[in-house]
Amino acid sequence: MSKRIISLSLVFLLTVATLLGCATNNNGGTNQAGSNEEQPNEEQSSGVVNLYTSRHYETDQELYKVFEEQTGIKVNVVEGKGDELMERLNIEGEATEADVFITADAGNLHAAKESGLLQAIESDVISNNIPDKLRDDENHWFGITKRARVIVYAKDRVDPAELSTYEALTESDWNKRLVVRSSDNMYNISLLASFIDIMGEEAATEWAQGIVNNMARDPQGGDRDQAKAVVAGEADVAIMNTYYIGGMLNSEDAEEVKVAENVGIFFPNQDTTGTHINVSAAGVTKHAKNKDNAIKFIEFLSSEEAQEKFASANFEYPANPNVEPAELLKSWGDFKEQDIDLSVLGQNQQQAIRIFNQVGWK
């Protein structure tokens, strides 16, 4: 009997020790599952903000350090793909440590909102820094950078005077001369979603069918691969985001630089509806344990100081209208943007996917 009591006592002591060890790890230790994940203190006074982000740029890391220095609030970062982080938030539920979620594309942010992963917040600072059309209409997410989806063309084979609109790319002149990413790419889904809002579902379907008819090959690869295909002579034009060209021009890979130098950028629909834009955006998670710090963090990201850093180092357009684009982006010229609320990109997402499937856009 005495042996049984001793055994139970040992089990109890081991359990207490384990729990104390877990508590110590949560108060400042490093999660062994990933070297850049720090388990934060749950108390608001702990001075932390816990970020789940699909952005993976050195610029962002530098900004986090500036925020820490200015506020004393430690930024704990978990990086991953947007859809994977959303699934993680969904699985973790109320137990999540995440306070802020950042990912690219308004469609992704809309999905996060509809899944109950984000909460509405009020901040005069953010409202003053970020225009209405670049944020959720119920304040669940806020754009922090802009990307323009443009026409990229071979400088040696295409006269930019031949280019005009997205719609014109469906004409017979461009038959077998166009490359673009696959239909499951969120940038393309949002592009088509914007057309549904602007021109209606029937015309948007006709556009998608026309693009499929003019493809030089089945969709493959990312945006950079589309530029490479143009320079290689597989096509003459591509649809892609501007910031990829900026990154290629400043790449350590000489071949990428060469590709970017041999393509031109054209902003379509300047005399009509404007060029399509999208955002990287941030929202406060539904179960944020450091809500005040999360709001301060997003306020900082929307500030002129942070926006200038985004613009100069990462070749994205600032979401804050008081900040000018980087010199490289200025060299491409000013352009008229689509005048739509980006929330519609998420609202029209399922329609866009159905259209892609209907027209056979792989």
Q: Which amino acid does the sequence have at 53?
A: T
Report in angstroms the alpha-carbon separations of 101 from 15, 96, 113, 140.
34, 12, 11, 11
pLDDT given at position 9: 39
Q: Write the DSSP string, 18-32.
A: HHHHHHHHHTT-B-T
Structure token pair of residue 279 = 């955002």
CATH 3.40.50.300 corresponds to the domain 33-145+278-325: no
The alpha carbon of 268 is separated from its chain's Cα centroid by a whole number of angstroms, namely 22
Residue 64, marked binder: no
Q: Is 56 annotated as a binding residue?
A: yes
Each residue's pLDDT expressed in tens, for the chain with a length of 362 residues: 333 333 333 333 333 333 334 333 343 333 333 334 444 444 444 599 999 999 988 889 999 999 999 999 999 999 999 999 999 999 999 999 999 999 999 989 999 999 999 999 999 999 999 999 999 989 999 999 999 999 999 999 999 999 999 999 999 999 999 999 999 999 999 999 999 999 999 999 999 999 999 999 999 999 999 999 999 999 999 999 998 999 999 999 999 999 999 999 999 999 999 999 999 999 999 999 999 999 999 999 999 999 998 887 788 999 999 999 999 999 999 999 999 989 899 899 999 999 999 999 99
Task: Tell me the two tokens of residue 143.
Answer: 């754009």
DSSP annotation string for 213-270: HHBSS---S-HHHHHHHHHTTS-SEEEEEHHHHHHHHT-S-HHHHHHHHTEEEE---T
Rounded-to-integer distance, Cα 338 and Cα 166, Å: 12
Query: Which amino acid, one-letter code, is at 113?
Result: K
Q: Which residues contact 295 (CB under 8 A, 6 or more apart)?
A: 121, 123, 126, 284
| pLDDT in the model for residue 310 | 86
Exposure of 283 in the CB half-sphere (CA atoms within 13 A): 31
User: 185: Cβ–Cβ under 8 A, 6 or more apart, which residues?
Assistant: none
* Confidence at residue 195, expressed as pLDDT on a 0 to 100 scale: 98
Output the pLDDT for position 14.
Answer: 34
User: How many Å apart are CA 342 and CA 277, to the nearest integer?
Assistant: 9
Residue type, 264: G
Q: Name residue 263's beta-bridge partners.
A: 154
User: What span, in angstroms and rounded, lies between the C-alpha atoms of 241 and 312?
Assistant: 17
Q: Annotation-wise, does 243 bind a ligand?
A: yes
Say which DSSP state 168 is in.
G
Q: Collect all residues with Cβ–Cβ distance below 8 Å to 235 and sequence separation of at least 6.
A: 176, 177, 178, 179, 216, 217, 226, 229
Tell me, what's the pLDDT at 15? 35
Question: How far is 60 from 346, CA to CA, in rounded Å?
Answer: 25
pLDDT at 313: 77
pTM recorded for the entire structure: 0.82
Q: Do domains 33-145+278-325 and 147-276+333-359 have the same CATH topology?
A: yes
Instruction: Parse the chain into domains and list their residue ranges.
Output: 33-145+278-325, 147-276+333-359
Measure the CA–CA gap between 25 and 173, rounded to whole angstroms: 63
> What's the CATH number for 147-276+333-359?
3.40.190.10
- Of the candidates 276, 295, 274, 273, the one whose C-alpha atom is nearest the C-alpha of residue 284 is 295
User: Which residue is associated with the tokens 């947007």?
Assistant: 82
| 121/105 Cα distance (integer angstroms) | 20
Helix, strand, or coil (residue 157): coil
279 strand-pairing partners: 146
Q: What is the pLDDT of residue 296?
A: 97
Under DSSP, the state recorded for 40 is P
Whole-number pLDDT of residue 46: 55
Task: Mark 39-50 as b/e (b = at least 16 C-beta within 10 Å).
Answer: bbbeeeebebbb
SS3 content of the chain, % helix, strand, coil (to 5): 50, 15, 35
DSSP state for residue 194 in the 8-state scheme: H
